[in-house]
Amino acid sequence: MENMENKGKNFDPLDMSQYNLNRMPKREPTTFEMWMVRIGGPLAILLFILLNFFIELPFLHNIDPTMLSKKAKAIYDTVGPEVFAAKNISMLAVFVAAVILWITEAIPNYLTSMILIITLVLTGVLSEVDAYHQLGHKIMWLNILSFVLASMLVKTGAAKRFALWFIVKFGKNASSIIISFIVINLILSAFISATTAKAAILLPIFMVVAAVYGATGGKSRNNFGRNVVLQNLLQINMAAGAYVTGSGANLLAAALIVGATGSDIFFTDWMIVAFPIATAIMIIGWVVGTRFVFPLSPEEKKPQIEGGMQRLKDELQKMGKFNFEEFKSIAIFVTVLLFWVTDRWHGVSPTAIAFVGAVVALTPNIGVVKWNEVDIPWHLLLFSAGAYTLGAGFKTTDFPALAVDAVFTAMGFGNDTPFWILYLILTGTMLFSALVFQSKTMRTLIFVPIAIGVAQKFGHPIMSLAFPVALLIEHVYVLPFNSKPALLLYLTDHYSWSDTFKFGFIMMCIAWAISILMGMTFFRFMGITPNGLGFF
């Protein structure tokens, strides 16, 4: 966002309407990003051809059927070793090409997904039914229904009112403001599964707060502005990780683990483990950011615009009295949340619960939102459908397990490899892969199956490796291209690439240390990691 000097005499830094998403400037791609776009398409096509027709990989041509899952073994027995090997080769070629296109963004991500789906069909990896019905996957439905429920809170203004009220009530100084945003993010994440939607709701509020403390972006940056924006970026993502419904990627990870173990992961199972970890990381981020990375000077701890916080109070008063429509939207979502939290006892899936909630929300004269008022990003859903179709291809071919076995065998890891080495490799790879990948869904589809495959290969419980890896999905805050909220908040111009990398990378390293510590203590106590961890 332009600095204050370039916004003209009529610019009011305390006017929340100035920070509408539609007014955000379009970021010009860097030279590196433009170069990536140019080479992405040709490189994807070249590798697809080479892997399919010219490069021979022994581990795919000489498959041991005893290593395959029950589903893959049935296909192997039906089509024979040569055809099954050809399916795996095509799976690898499609996977590599898709990852390149997704990373480089040579074409829109939803278009890559569409190409991926039809290619898996035409190469015979998946049948048309298996490929196309991923758009009807229950997680896809939960995503759609969550957008309906989130739109209800946004349309009625309930989410905005809560955030404004909390800041006005408890944001008495610089430190308490950032702590207030931790609480706000944790509460909103229980109701809103889209991290971009949360960023859109909170952005005008923390931009006004930053302006009150003298930060308007550009040449008017200061450490309070850096902290309030980057802390919110961390909090938006970490709070999403506190709940299995916090993002579609969490739900996908849970589905992959459930598919491999046959045991359900309930809303409460995930929350009991993830909530305290997410909260601890946000509190540590507050200390690290305000005390060490971007320490606040005495001047930055004080409001720089007289009566600035009063403008937030005025904005809250402008919304009028709490109305019946807001009450209905909150009542619907609280009811949905209560049923999510108690799913262990009643056994109804989160998707079915959200379905009922969305039906009530859309029902004329009873609900609070109309279909044309619901904001559903279909391009993101198409992208997700492609990712899920890739996952279906993995299940059909058992490619991740075969690749894991080949890689670990080549690296000299035997069956006596200590658990802690595998834990360190998998959690570290999952975490730091976020520096390269743009999609949480893609990382989930790659690394959770790998963790499952490693656990199976070395004879460890699947949960012991796959669940700790799944809990690291939401660490997408280091660089602007790592997630959509990261890009959105970067456009505020309150910090530079070096600022976000410095704070984000430190937090990522701390998160890895916490994951290791949890593996030694809390995860062991919860029965996730085995007693013979080998750390001592």
State residue 96's pLDDT score. Answer: 92
State residue 2's pLDDT score. Answer: 43
Look up residue 297 and give its DSSP letter.
P
With a CB cutoff of 8 Å and minimum separation 6, the contacts of 477 are: 230, 233, 234, 237, 483, 485, 486, 500, 504, 507
The CA-atom distances, in angstroms, between 141 and each of 4, 214, 504 are: 43, 44, 32
**Amino acid in position 218:** G
265, 244 contact by CB (below 8 A): yes
Instruction: Report residue 286 CA to chain centroid gap.
Output: 21
CA distance 294 to 282: 15
Terminal-residue alpha carbon distance, the chain: 50
Task: Give the residue from 23, 66, 53, 37 showing the smallest Cα distance to 402.
Answer: 66
184, 162 contact by CB (below 8 A): yes
Residue 266, φ and ψ in degrees, nearest 5: -85, 165
Instruction: Report residue 122 CA to chain centroid gap.
Output: 31
State residue 533's pLDDT score. Answer: 43
State residue 332's pLDDT score. Answer: 94
Q: For residue 153, is it left (φ>0), alpha (ψ between -120 and 50) or beta?
A: alpha
Look up residue 502 and give its DSSP letter.
H
b (16+ CB within 10 A) / e for 454-481: bbbbbebebbbbbbbbbbbbbbbbbbbb
Q: For residue 82, is it left (φ>0), alpha (ψ between -120 and 50) or beta?
A: alpha
* CA-based torsion, 273, 227, 480, 312: positive or negative: positive
CA distance 512 to 296: 26
Task: Give the residue from 504, 506, 519, 513 showing the smallest Cα distance to 474.
Answer: 504
Q: Residue 100, CB half-sphere, CA atoms under 13 Å: how many?
A: 18
Q: For residue 218, is it left (φ>0), alpha (ψ between -120 and 50) or beta?
A: left
State residue 379's pLDDT score. Answer: 78
DSSP element (H, E) containing 434 = none
CA distance 153 to 142: 17
Token pair of 283 as six digits: 């509190």
Token pair of 221 as six digits: 């940056």
Token pair of 324 as six digits: 């019946």
Count Cβ atoms below 10 Å from residue 139 Cβ, excluding itself: 20
Per-residue pLDDT of the chain (536 residues), as tens digits, is: 444 444 555 556 666 566 655 566 565 677 877 898 999 999 999 999 999 999 988 888 888 888 787 888 999 999 999 999 999 999 999 989 988 888 788 998 889 989 999 999 999 999 999 999 888 888 788 878 888 888 888 889 888 899 889 998 998 899 999 999 999 999 989 877 778 878 888 888 888 889 889 888 888 899 999 999 999 999 999 999 999 888 878 988 888 888 788 788 888 899 999 999 999 999 999 999 999 999 999 989 988 877 677 878 888 898 999 999 999 999 998 999 899 889 888 888 888 999 999 999 999 989 999 998 887 778 778 877 887 888 888 888 888 778 888 888 888 887 788 999 999 999 999 999 998 776 787 788 789 988 988 888 888 999 999 999 999 999 999 988 788 889 889 888 899 989 999 999 999 999 999 999 999 999 999 999 987 443 32
428, 512 contact by CB (below 8 A): yes
Listed by start position, the domains of the chain span 1-129
Count, residues in the chain? 536
Q: In sequence order, what DSSP letters do the residues of 322-375 get, joined into one string?
A: --HHHHHHHHHHHHHHHHHHTHHHH---HHHHHHHHHHHHHSTTTSS--GGG--
Coil vs helix vs strand at 30: coil
229, 210 contact by CB (below 8 A): yes
> Cβ-count burial of 321 within 10 angstroms (0-12 exposed, 13-18 middle, 19+ buried)?
exposed
Task: Give the residue from 203, 180, 182, 206 showing the smallest Cα distance to 312.
Answer: 206
State residue 535's pLDDT score. Answer: 36
Q: In sequence order, what DSSP letters do the residues of 482-498 get, joined into one string?
A: G-HHHHHHHTT-SS-HH
250, 241 contact by CB (below 8 A): yes
Strand partners, 220: 217
